[in-house]
Structure 1
Amino acid sequence: MTEWTVMKRTLAVAIAAAASLSLAACGGGSAAPTSSSAAPTSSAAPTSSAAPTSGAASMPLNFQLSWFPGGDNLAFWAGLDQGFFLEEGIDLTIDSATDPTISQKLIATGEKPIGIAYAGDIVISNASGAPITAIWALTDESPFGLISLKDAGITKAEDLKGKTVGVTSLPTDQAFFDTMLKSVGLTRDDVTVVDPGLAGVQQLLAGTLDATSAIINYEPAVLKSEGIDSYDFLYYSQYGAPNATFYAITVNPEWLADNGDVATKFLRAYQKSITWTNANVDEAVRLFIERFPDQDAELTKNIYLGEAAIMGTGSNDLGQWQGLADYLQADGTIDASVDAKTFVTNDYLP
């Protein structure tokens, strides 16, 4: 698969999702879901589609991704295909996003009851008076850092001097990058910083970036799809940034107060989905490609395998969350720190 193919497929999905959001806005409603609990778009039915275990009707539930469909959220789609959410009495639909910060905003306003949000954005949202609650940590540690090709010669943070580096607009990315530079006596005056948008890896391959921000389960998989197995990765946490979960399943607290049992059922279904996907990766990818034929099967599989390697048990580490909140306050990203116990809980784990 060529560099241009990867870029086209990435941008095609993003543009399609953006168009869906735009059309919905013009019509005065919310964006149409990317997919639903219906069968995949091809004529092939899911391997199984279990009905709810009780005679009661399933509860509709709309889940918001923080990005577009891909290997990093493969288990959610597998759970739909295998009927695990229906078994718990949940009629699930899944919406994608092209703006990684939109999910916590929709959850905070109550437009979406549940979804994935980045840990830093969860802290920032709560600090700004828009409460949301993390109920499942998707990673135990931070997979966030900078990736570069071997010929760039960036094996330590000091090597960034004089380089062109892609840093996304995520507040934590900006803050963590500055902390990395400061830890080795550098400032932004020593580097050229650009926003890589959707295509940091593609810009690495094109030679317009020397390094770009990345997560260890995603960008290396994209490089592997290009036949590149050797690269350098610098974790932000190795240079003073907090070592906390990167993203979490997050809910609106008012919704949670009335639907705690549904939250637990959702997490139990997701737990089943992970177990099944880990044992049946190729089948999960096949069904995913039926839903999204423009996606690449090999890339989807490699991204999921990277995701599976950093998955935890779902349990939130309150100490890590508090450390992240305190860091963002000290950094000036938020005005005052917030108590992690007010927006992080393990009470709904199955």
Structure 2
Amino acid sequence: MKVLRITGLALLLMAPVAAPAAEPVNLMLNWAPTADHSPFYYAKAQGWYEKTGIDLTIEVGKGSGVSSLKVGSGGSPFGIADLATMLVARSKGADVVALMSIYANTGQTFYWLKSYGVDGAKTFPGHKIGNPPGDASRVMWPAFAKAAGIAPDAVTFVNVGPTAKIAALKSHTVDIISDFYNEHDLKVIEFGSDLGFVNWKDIGLNPYGNSLIVNGAYLAKNAKLAEDFVRISQKAFAACVADVAPCLKALLDQASGLDKENQERQWERIKFLMTDDFTTSKALGWIDPGRMQKDYDLVQTYLGMERPFAVETAFSTKLLDPSVKMDASKVKK
């Protein structure tokens, strides 16, 4: 009878090799999760981040200012923030860099009821605008007024909470409200043909909106992980543009209190906000240097920079996959 001898080396070679532990990575959202965050939930549910060694946690945010400061201080490696807000945070010492635009077009929009005597931005003077005190559209109002050709002090601002805007407009507490374009359909449903609106892009103001940001020191130490994170996120956004149903399912499975139909309508608007000449030709998520300089100048003029810096140090497109582009054919006209 033959005896099979197995050496210690053979046993070692035959033993299963444990997969390397995934790196815990936190992504802080700009606000509570909605349709524009669904690609991150989808990619996580598909295991795409995990396959590259990323153990992703998605943290609910409390505004772009909070996420910019937390990422900038190293409290979270990645975050989502409005780029103008991120630029202000960087001027205050936050170590933060933008890696990918989500809203290539601004979502800032003013809404009114035609029956209140408002017919475009030229007729804003003498009317009341409702929004929260720290609302970006109120802070940047002088820029809008200049572009629209009206005096900055020609309107009165009224403090209205984010969830009370539609009610304030309906009750005529205010004549105009500001809101993001991805919430457009809720107002169409509420007010129908009496609704009027102007997106800031329509009067020549188009700063970048929500974007993926990273802590600068973390990026320097974890370049490959950051590249993997960006490219998986790009891939996820492209997949959701092609078919949003599984993406919204992944979102709704993790975020309670969301209406599926409202999120579907929001996604249609979000695709419009994602689309410009650069995201369709260069790469989905592309950030253009020329536009970034204009955004910097806009912020410098109306918000101020505590410590000015070279704008090219505040963003990078090097981690984007140029083969992944925004599909403009999926955007409803």
Aligned residue for 1:269? 232
Instruction: Provide closer, same or farther for how the CA distance between residues 59 and 240 of structure 1 changes in structure 2, counting only shifts above 3 A.
Output: same
Q: 1:331 aligned to 2:294?
A: no
2:40 alignment counterpart: 76
- Aligned pairs for 1:99-248 (under 5 A) are 99-170=63-134, 172-182=136-146, 183-188=148-153, 190-199=154-163, 200-216=165-181, 218-224=182-188, 226=190, 228=192, 231-239=195-203, 241=205, 243-248=206-211
Separation of aligned partners in 1, 2:79 and 2:193:
32
Cα deviation 1:171-192 (Å, max 9, x = unaligned): 742343222224423233x322
Question: Contact between 2:64 and 2:85, CA under 8 Å: does it hold in 1?
Answer: no
- Following TM superposition, by how much is the alpha carbon of 1:345 offset from its aligned partner in structure 2, in angstroms? 0.8
TM-score (ref. length: structure 1): 0.76
Does the residue aligned with 1:121 lie in a helix, a strand or coil? Answer: helix
Instruction: Name the % identity.
Output: 23
Deviations 1:99-140 (A, max 9, x none): 342100101110011011111111111222223100101122
Deviation at 1:203, TM superposition (A): 2.6
Q: Is the 8 A contact 1:66 1:116 kept in 2?
A: yes
**1:127-165 residue CA offsets vs partner (Å, 9 max, x unmatched):** 222231001011223232312234334332121122221
- TM-score, with structure 2 as normaliser: 0.80
Amino acid at match of 1:85: Y
Q: In 1, are the aligned partners of 2:27 and 2:79 still within 8 Å (CA)?
A: yes
Query: Per the alignment, in what secondary structure is the counterpart of residue 209 of structure 1?
Result: coil
Counterpart CA distance in 2 for 1:333 and 1:197 is: 25
Is this contact kept in 2: 1:225–1:298, CA < 8 A?
A: no
Which amino acid in 2 is paired with 1:266?
A: F
Instruction: Give CA-to-partner distance per residue, 1:80-107, whole Å, 9 cap, x none.
Output: 2222222322111101123342100101
Q: How far 1:63 sits from its partner (Å)? A: 0.2
Q: CA deviation at 1:331?
A: 2.8
Can you give the 5+ residue segments of structure 2 that lack an aligned partner in the other structure?
1-17, 322-333
| 2:139–2:303 contact (8 Å) kept in structure 1 | no
Greater C-alpha radius of gyration: 2
Cα separation, partners in 2 of 1:195 and 1:337, compared to 1, 3 Å = farther
The AA in structure 1 aligned to 2:119 is T
Pairing partner for 1:343 from 302, 305, 314: 314
Residue 281 of structure 1 is aligned with which of 232, 244, 247? 244
Counterpart residue type for residue 180 of structure 2: I
Structure 1 residue 337 displacement after superposition: 4.2
| Alpha-carbon separation, structure 2, partners of 1:333 and 1:167 | 22
Deviation at 1:201, TM superposition (A): 3.0
Q: Does structure 2 conserve the Cα–Cα contact (< 8 Å) formed by 1:134 and 1:344?
A: yes
8 Å CA contact 2:65–2:89 kept in 1: the answer is: no
Q: Equivalent residue of 1:316, what SS?
A: coil
Amino acid of the structure 2 residue aligned with 1:61: V
Structure 2 partner of 1:252: 215
What letter corresponds to residue 168 of structure 2 in structure 1?
Q
- Separation of aligned partners in 2, 1:333 and 1:170: 15
- In structure 2, the partner of 1:298 is 261
Question: 1:205 and 1:316, CA in 2 relative to 1: closer, same or farther beyond 3 A?
Answer: same
Measure, in 1, the Cα distance between the counterparts of 2:72 and 2:24. 19
Counterpart of 2:301, as a letter, is A
Q: Say if 1:164 and 1:191, in contact at 8 Å, map to a contact too.
A: yes
Paired AA for residue 231 in structure 2:
R
Question: CA 1:304/1:237 → structure 2, altered by over 3 Å: closer, same or farther?
Answer: closer
